[in-house]
Amino acid sequence: MELYKKIKLSDVARRAGVSNATISRYINNSGYVSEEKARLIKKAMNELGYTVSEGKEEKRCKVFAIVLPPSGKTLVGSAYQSNFSDLAQECGYKVMPEIYDLCEMSLIDVLKIISKQNIRGIFIPFMPMCELENNTVNYIKTSKIPIVMISEFPNIVYPEITSIIPDLQFAGKAAVKKLYEKGCRKLAFISTDAKKNKSSYLHLLGFMDAVRELGLSDENYVIAEADIYKEKSFTIAGYKAAEKAFELMPDIDGILGWTGSFTAGIMQYIYKLGLRIPDQIKIIGTDDDVANFLSPPLTTVNISIHRRCLEALELLLRLQDEDEWKHKKQIYLSPSFYYRGTLCD
């Protein structure tokens, strides 16, 4: 008969009604915790009989690793690194960044190198578009260090791996229905080549889901693409894709554009035509990278990088408890609208 049950941080968090990150900030005195939450945490610790083992905490290096591909050097990769690092620091952790090149080294080799270092967990924001090899899945499954990945392909889910899955397909569908709700009846999906980009592909699937559900005929929508890898510029590719779209359907009044930088090119072409945004054409983009710098600012539907990093950190903190580690989790994130000038009159 078990007379003693080990009390974990996650137990205290549940009793206090706060997040694991908040508990970590309180215990490590490493970030802001409101007086009310501090009171609830202290009360929960007393009720559960939880005490902090300071000696144990000092022996373990409080470091997470974030694994970024070559694209990690771009604006998006930098945003992941800075957001995750800032959030981890608030909880008393440091972050060790690693840039890897999948052309030269496999993911499993990278993980083996990092795992030899004294760290508490690994965050992989960019899951490969293709399925992972079995040996990689098995390595992650049996790893002695918690690993959290972001997978943007809901059809590629590994029960053995703790994953965060942004629902980009739903985001695409929600955007089209929002444009329709605003009175748009000639809709366009303007993006990079969906065959080469998983984000574009999923948004396109959502676009077509909405087209079917709304009962739109072929005359009421158009799909136009321009390859960012060929054009070597998001903005130039957006401009050329918009040019194709308006050649196919000159009376477009609602657009689901791809990233903010790509949609900047779409807007440039629209202004060249002498059309007004949002009076004559309404636009929704899929991320916030330059949304506030466009004129008018771009309305978006997305799961922010900050939110993705916060969810990843919460999972890694929870997985510090060995009992939690045994249960792999898949967290699905729904998108949110950020209303700005390209949709609002």
CATH number of the domain where residue 42 is located: 1.10.260
How distant, in Å, are the alpha carbons of 254, 296, 339, 341 from that of 279? 11, 11, 15, 10
Both 81 and 96 in one domain: the answer is yes
Both 190 and 288 in one domain: the answer is yes
Domain count along the chain:
3
Inside any domain, residue 266: yes
Both 112 and 189 in one domain: the answer is no
Query: Rounded distance, CA 242 to CA 247, Å?
Result: 9
Helix (H) or strand (E) holding 341: none
Number of other CB atoms surrounding residue 219 within 10 Å:
8
Q: Which of 113, 115, 103 lies closest to 71 in space, CA to CA? A: 103
Inside any domain, residue 105: yes
Both 189 and 240 in one domain: the answer is yes
Inside any domain, residue 342: no
Give me the long-range contacts of 277-282 (CB less than 8 A, separation at least 24).
277/341, 277/342, 278/341, 278/342, 278/343, 278/344, 278/345, 279/345, 280/253, 281/252, 281/253, 281/254, 281/255, 282/179, 282/182, 282/184, 282/253, 282/254, 282/255, 282/342, 282/343
Both 53 and 142 in one domain: the answer is no
Both 200 and 298 in one domain: the answer is yes
Domain residues for the domain of 46 are 9-57
Query: Rounded distance, CA 112 to CA 69, Å?
Result: 16
Query: Rounded distance, CA 75 to CA 81, Å?
Result: 10
Inside any domain, residue 224: yes
Model pLDDT, residue 138: 85
Inside any domain, residue 3: no
Both 291 and 316 in one domain: the answer is no
Model pLDDT, residue 252: 98
Please state whether beta strands 94-99 and 336-338 pair in parallel, antiparallel, or not at all (unpaired). unpaired
Query: Rounded distance, CA 180 to CA 172, Å?
Result: 13
Both 197 and 294 in one domain: the answer is yes
Model pLDDT, residue 245: 98
| Helix, strand counts (H, E) of the chain | 14, 12
Q: Which residues, given as ranges, of the chain have pLDDT below 70?
A: 1-7, 29-32, 49, 51-61, 70-74, 97-104, 127-131, 153-157, 322-328, 345
Both 123 and 175 in one domain: the answer is no
Model pLDDT, residue 185: 97
Model pLDDT, residue 57: 44
Model pLDDT, residue 71: 57
Both 213 and 109 in one domain: the answer is no
Inside any domain, residue 204: yes
Both 105 and 132 in one domain: the answer is yes
Both 26 and 86 in one domain: the answer is no
Inside any domain, residue 68: yes
Inside any domain, residue 4: no
pTM: 0.73
- Residue 87 sits in a domain of what CATH number? 3.40.50.2300
